[in-house]
Structure formats: C-alpha cells, structure tokens
Amino acid sequence: MAATISIGLAGLGNVGAGVYKNLERNGDLLAERTGHRFEVVRVAVRDLGKARDVEVPAARLTTDWRDLVADPAIQVIVELIGGVTEAHELVKSALEAGKIVITGNKALLAEHGHELIALAEKMDVPLYFEAAVAGGIPIIKSVREALVGNHILAIYGIINGTSNFILTQMARRGIDYRTALAEAQARGYAEADPALDVNGWDAAHKAIILAWLSYGLWVRPNEIVVDGIENVSAADIRLAATLGYTIKLLGVVRLHEDRRIEVRVQPTLIPSSHILASVNDVFNAVVVHGDIVGETLFYGSGAGQNATSSAVIADLADAAHNLAKNPGCQGFLPSGYYGQAVTVDETVSPYYIRLRVEDRPGVIAQVTSVIARHDIGLSSLVQPKVEGGGPADLMLMMHAAPFGRMRAALGELEKLSCVTEKPILMRVENFA
C-alpha cells in the first residue's frame, strides 16, 4: 500500500487549482512512481464563496492559512497565494513548525530567499521552489543536480512568457506594443495590471534566484539592471531584423573573471541565428553554460496552470522522498560565495540607440561628436527615409562600452536641441 502524504494548500487560484486537479487526475501514476499518495487535506482561500474550476469539499476549506500550519497531520505546505508580505509570514511559520514547504513565489524568494533558506537549514526541513522559475521547465533541478559538477559560467534566459508573446506578435505582424499587450490580455496571457511582466521585474526575480543557485550570492534588487519592454517600438523590431537581430526580453546571469556576478534583465538585440531568437509566443528558454558540459538549452512552457502545477508536483515527489528517507534539509549549497555583484555602470555590452531627431543638416555631426567625446565606438548608423518631412529616426549600433559611459553619453544626446524625444537604448548580446 502506498503511504499517504498530507498536504496543506495555500491558494486556490489558477496554479493552486491546477495542483489540486492534477494530483487527483494523476494520483495513481504518482503512487506507482513514488510509492506515495498525495492528499490535499486543507485548502486556505481568501473567499469561500468564489467560483472556481475545481470542486473542493467544504470541510477542507479555511480562510486562515494558520490552520494549515497548526494542523499536526499536515506534512507539506504548498504556498501559492502570491505577493510577498503574507506569503513570507506563511512560509516562515511553516518552516518554524518543522513542515516541508513548496513555493512558486519568485518575488518572495528574491526578497527573502537568504533568510528563508537559512531558516530551512536551521530547522532541518527542505524548502522547494522549482515552480518559481520558468514554469514547467525543470531549470532549478537541472542546475543544482544535473549540472552539479560544473562551474556555471553564464545563464541566458527568456523567462517571462507575457513579454515574449508581446514581442513575438509585434515582430510577426508589425503591430505596436499597445495592440500586442491588449491581445495578450484578451487571451489571458497578461493580467489587467501587467506591470511586473512588462517592466521586467518578474524576470528579474527569477534571475536573482538563478544567480543564487549558480553562485551562492543573493543579489539585491538595487544591484541589478532591469528594464521592461514598454518602450520597444515596431520600428525598433523592423530595423533590428534588417540588421540580423531579434529583440527579446533577456535575463543574463554571468560570472566575471574577478569572481563578481552580473545580473540584468533588459530588451536585448540577439542574433537571429541564435537558438533563443526562435523562442516565440509564451514559451520560455534558458541557456546554461557550464565549464564541463558546455552549452545546454532548456525549453518549454514558462507559465500557465498545467506547466506550473507540474513543477509543484515534481517538488511534492521530492518532498515524499525526503519524508520517507528522513535525510533532513537537503539544502542546496552553491560552491562557495563569489563575493559581490558587478555594479550597473561597470557592465559592458554593445548597444542599440534610436533617436528621434529633426530632419535638417548637421544633426548627424552633432550626434557623432557626443559619442566620440565619451570614447564610444560607432559601428553603424541608419536613417530611414522620411516621407513628407518632420522628425526622423536615427538608428545607431555601438561597440561594447561600460554602461556608465553609455548612460552619460545618452544623457548628453537627450539634451541636444535636435533630439525631439527621449532616446531609446537597448543592449546587444552576441553570446561571445
């Protein structure tokens, strides 16, 4: 007879409902493969009367997550309520009660991961979080288990499905950002308030987690570069394509020779020949460079009910093994503390700049003189033909330079009388 694992589920939204539904649907399969049955015995929700796409017996429902922590029969608590403050209190209380915790909350881990991992080690109980990064892609398990023998040299990821869908539609159909965003919302890919997805911070929280897994450093949010896709235009995408590039919201985690860590998330021009350029719609992909294995690619659904619940269920299987073998925390310890983060101004890359300028003689000379004064190389300049006069776009491709120097040059360019709008700056990543 398969042993039963009693679960407390906090949150019955999209992902929580998927976990509950899929545990019931594939319960026999899980019992065969793990030797355990998983039973959700209590579910904490905010509104008992809310309509949901799963039916849960009323006796199992509560509006207070503390009931899950206080129940001695519950062995594992799954936190899927979202947010940071209440989720932090829940996870901390559950660990202090000696219960295994599974969470998909990337914002919680980005802000409080250092504290919660230390608490899990102190209490000798595991904290699992496969669902926090890239949905159904098993990137957490791969980095900490399959690649355990490698020094991680760099990670590049398309790790936000909403932004990737918007950029894909803009490139595929030539539509503008607002039209693509509205379509993403209509299809349920973007929330009514899509800020965290489109401003880059959802991906940034995931990048912070990947940096810790790879290097043992919890990078603070103010130490990383984060830009969203709100200012990417159809013109940017068209010109990038003519130059052989595709624009993606790219997360970068990279080890420098001085053992400092670079973490950033920004709209980035990547070569259209690179595998990441072909990752479209709501799919995610993560490229990991190890010193032994070389380049590895992980691709799949980055969000959604089934993809994310699959990751939670994988953590439940690990929790069952932990309970059966009683090995304790099993906290993953990266191979040494790598010091500190690279400051924003020190990060180096090539750049793409779009300037909206007056269409008159002398403008190009003014622009190039500013760039030369800041000792930045200019690799190409394109001025699309203007029909009927009016402001024109200047597209500039810059050689690699420190971001601080590029930012200073951009500030000076913005003040030129011939520049009519705020300049657009994006990184170029050639994966060298």
Specify which of 85-89, 219-223, 322-326 reaches the highest per-range mean pLDDT: 85-89
pLDDT value of position 220: 86
pLDDT tens, residue by residue, 6-53: 999 999 999 999 999 999 999 999 999 999 999 999 999 999 988 888
What is the mean pLDDT of the segment spanning 49-58?
Answer: 90
What residues does CATH 3.40.50.720 cover in the chain? 3-135+305-325
Percentage above 90 pLDDT, the chain: 78
Look at 1-15, 131-145, 222-236, 377-391 and tell me which has the smallest mean pLDDT.
377-391
8-state DSSP, 346? G
Secondary-structure percent of the chain, ordered helix, strand, coil, rounded to 5: 40, 25, 35
* Domain boundaries for CATH 3.30.70.260 within the chain: 344-428
| CB 33 within 8 Å of CB 320 | no
Residues of the chain within CATH 3.30.360.10 domain(s) are 139-301
pLDDT band (50, 70, 90) for residue 223: confident
Taking the C-alpha atoms of residue 51 and residue 22, their distance in angstroms, rounded to an integer, is: 19
Question: Which CATH architecture group holds 139-301?
Answer: 2-Layer Sandwich (3.30)
- pLDDT at residue number 85: 96
Amino acid 340: pLDDT: 85
- The answer to whether the CB of 251 falls within 8 A of the CB of 156 is yes
The pLDDT, as a whole number, for residue 398 is 96
Q: What is the pLDDT of residue 125?
A: 92
Q: What is the pLDDT of residues 392-425, one digit of tens each?
A: 889 999 999 999 999 999 999 999 999 999 999 9
List Cα–Cα distances, 257 to 123, 339, 342, in angstroms. Answer: 36, 12, 11
Please count the residues of the chain. 432
**Stretch among 115-119, 168-172, 282-286 having the lowest mean pLDDT:** 115-119
Please tell me the distance from the alpha carbon of residue 419 to that of residue 157, in angstroms, as a whole number: 34
pLDDT band for position 339 (cuts 50, 70, 90): low
Closest residue by Cα to residue 285 from 241, 246, 314: 246
Number of H helices, E strands in the chain: 14, 16
What pLDDT, on the 0 to 100 scale, is given for residue 338? 53
Which pLDDT tens digit goes with each residue over 271-329? 999 999 999 999 999 999 999 999 999 999 887 889 999 999 999 999 998 888 776 65
CATH number for domain 344-428, candidates 3.40.50.10470, 1.10.287.3510, 3.40.1350.10, 3.30.70.260:
3.30.70.260
Residue 389's pLDDT band, with cuts at 50, 70 and 90, is low
Look at the domain 3-135+305-325 and name its fold.
Rossmann fold (3.40.50)
Beta strands 3-10 and 36-44: pairing type? parallel
Backbone angles phi, psi at 77, to 5 degrees: -115, 130
Burial 253-285 (b: 16+ CB within 10 A, else e): bbbeeeebbbbbbbbbbbbeebebbebbebbbb
Dihedral sign, CA of 19, 121, 132, 275? negative
What is the overall mean pLDDT for the chain? 92
CA-based radius of gyration for the chain: 24
CA separation (Å) from 207 to 39, 153, 163, 181, 296? 33, 14, 15, 23, 17
Confidence of residue 386 (pLDDT cuts 50, 70, 90): low
pLDDT per residue as tens digits for the range 355-385: 999 988 899 999 999 999 999 999 999 887 7
Q: Is 65 helix (H, G, I), strand (E, B) or coil?
A: coil
Label residue 117 left, alpha or beta by phi (over 0 means left) and psi (-120 to 50 means alpha): alpha
Q: Point out the residues that are catalytic.
A: 206
Q: How far is CA 204 from the centre of its chain?
A: 5
- pLDDT category of residue 189 using cuts at 50, 70 and 90: confident
CB 101 within 8 A of CB 75: no
Name the region of 83 (left: φ>0; alpha: ψ -120 to 50; beta: rest): left
Q: Which pLDDT does position 359 carry in this prediction?
A: 86
Collapsed DSSP state (helix, strand, coil) of residue 264: strand
